[in-house]
Structure 1
Amino acid sequence: MTSFLEAVASRRSYSRVTDEAPTHDALLPLVAAAGRVADHSSLRPWRVIELRGDARNRLGAAFVKDAGAHGPDAEKLAGKPLRAPLLLAIVSVRHRSDKVPGWEQDAVAAGVAHTLSLLLHEAGWGVFWRTGAHTRSKAVHKAHGLARNERLLGWLYVGGVPEDSREGHRPSIDAERYLTALG
């Protein structure tokens, strides 16, 4: 059995995945576990939206509308959500709070996203995290049915790991460079 440290250290992004994806029922325990991230005041300021099948086409259409693209550019944009059979939209749900500022609530949602990506990786799925200008688009927000207090942080693209995949390996970081002591 792989240790948690080994699983995290081996995490990588897969920009190409196969057409296999975890089922809704397979996602439930992973989302439940990811929801255990540190969460000041237990606000649970997040939600995850599954996009499969035609929902990915609707997202592609929202990308095209946002960019005002036409022709080959529109086709390319419309195809981006089709790069994986499952997209998990990560949404920060900001609650009114005198104790927990909005940035901290966004950090909880980002923590859920990262933990979920680690759990999916450990379960054998290929995952990559996509963000960008489309996360702030009115057309994309509308396609996701977001409320005024919700912010789209990005999508986890999820699918099977290709047998021939060699991409995404990153060198280990020099921990001494990033771990400092207050003198």
Structure 2
Amino acid sequence: MELQDAITQRRSIKVFRRDMNIDDDALYEAIQRATDAPNHGLRAPWRVVHIAKDRLGEMSKQLTEIAFPNLRKKQEDHYKVATNLGGMLALIVKEDPRQKESLENNMAFGAFAQNLMLLLFESGIGTCWKSPAYIFNPEIRKIFGVKDDERLVGLLYLTDLEDLEKMPHRERQQNQVIDKF
């Protein structure tokens, strides 16, 4: 697959209504390859926590007890969605108290994440990046082992590509990107 084709054709897969599986070996290879992202000072400020298919139910139960206490329906809905996935990645970036380095770390993490999603797409694994409000809850951070000098920036849902054609293709707003000085 050509890079431009992957950039153009990759979409967030948002259909989680059936049980699916992914190739964990392909996932790990894509994660390793994604680390070729540019990063200032070679700090590699990224880390992921893989929640394998067989651990999604347990993770969902722990997460929803904190995120949705006393909301049984929301807990059940999350469990159904989570256990249908092929897996999940908790996306974690290294914080830096220095303003410039913090910016560089965030930009590097974005490059890593884009590499990862494109490489996963190329490997036949679909993705959908979720950043729900509960990722900022210290108890949720603890579930994923997020350290004091790290930030949980999202959850990457992992799917197969069977539903890719059902996902709408949006026209990009390319003409609004460039201003002239």
Answer whether TM exceeds 0.5 for this pair: yes
Q: Percent identity?
A: 21
The RMSD of aligned alpha carbons is 2.2
CA distance in 2, matches of 1:174, 1:46: 29
Relative to the length of structure 2, the TM-score reads: 0.85
Say whether residues 1:32 and 2:32 are aligned partners: yes
Q: Give how far 1:158 is off.
A: 1.1
User: Secondary structure of 1:90's partner?
Assistant: strand
CA distance in 1, matches of 2:91, 2:52: 15
**Superposition map of 1:45-64 within 5 A:** 45-61=45-61, 62-64=63-65
Q: Give how far 1:126 is off.
A: 1.7
User: Secondary structure of 2:129's partner?
Assistant: strand
Distance 1:106 1:13, change over 3 A: same
Relative to the length of structure 1, the TM-score reads: 0.84
Structure 1 stretches lacking a partner, 5+ long: none
User: Secondary structure of 2:154's partner?
Assistant: strand
Structure 2 stretches lacking a partner, 5+ long: none
Q: Give how far 1:100 is off.
A: 4.0
**Superposition map of 1:66-77 within 5 A:** 66-77=67-78
Contact 2:53 2:86 in 1 (8 A): yes
Q: Give how far 1:7 is off.
A: 1.3
Distance 1:134 1:54, change over 3 A: farther
Letter in 2 for 1:5: Q
Distance 1:157 1:10, change over 3 A: same
Q: Tell me what 1:119 maps to.
A: 119
Contact 2:10 2:121 in 1 (8 A): yes
User: Secondary structure of 1:44's partner?
Assistant: coil
Distance 1:172 1:70, change over 3 A: closer
CA distance in 1, matches of 2:82, 2:112: 21
Q: Tell me what 1:132 maps to.
A: 132
Letter in 2 for 1:175: Q
Contact 2:11 2:164 in 1 (8 A): no
Q: Tell me what 2:169 maps to.
A: 170
CA distance in 2, matches of 1:145, 1:13: 26
CA distance in 1, matches of 2:142, 2:104: 24
**Superposition map of 1:74-85 within 5 A:** 74-85=75-86
CA distance in 1, matches of 2:86, 2:9: 23
Bigger mean CA offset, 52-61 vs 144-153 = 52-61
CA distance in 2, matches of 1:104, 1:79: 37
